[in-house]
Amino acid sequence: MSQETQQVPETTQLERAIEAATRSVAVRTSRLDALEAGKPVGEPLGVEGLRDVPVSVSIELGRVRLPLAEVLALAPGSLVLLDRAAHEPVDLFVGGRPYARGEVVVVGEKYGIRITSLTTS
């Protein structure tokens, strides 16, 4: 019966480095204490606490899609026609979302919007 010698492949320097690194890593486990139920501190914020938070409000008079060539040709005095008729209501957006519709008014030397309906969504 012949005894065959099983050859063990030599380990490379990289394999030896990985082996040494994994032996040097110590893993610790510990048990955390049980957490107690939270106790509220102060008064609840509610909606009233949010009334002073500033939000972005914008009015959209209309839209139009133009070829880039027409956009590049815009100059002082150019006229851009929008997709809405002059009598149609404008849209009011709060935080980028539709919130209301209304009609444009002039108050003194400033524009404003008179709300005619709230958006339901």
pLDDT of residue 35: 74
pLDDT of residue 16: 83
CB 88 within 8 A of CB 69: no
Mean pLDDT by 10 residues, the chain (121 residues): 58 82 74 75 73 92 95 96 93 94 94 93 66
Residues 94-119 as b or e (16 or more Cβ within 10 Å = b): eeeeebbbbeeeeeeeeeebeeeeee
Is pTM beyond 0.75? Reply is no
Domains annotated for the chain, with CATH where assigned, are 57-118 (2.30.330.10)
Question: Which regions of the chain does DSSP assign to beta strands (E)?
Answer: 57-60, 90-94, 97-107, 110-118
pLDDT of residue 3: 54
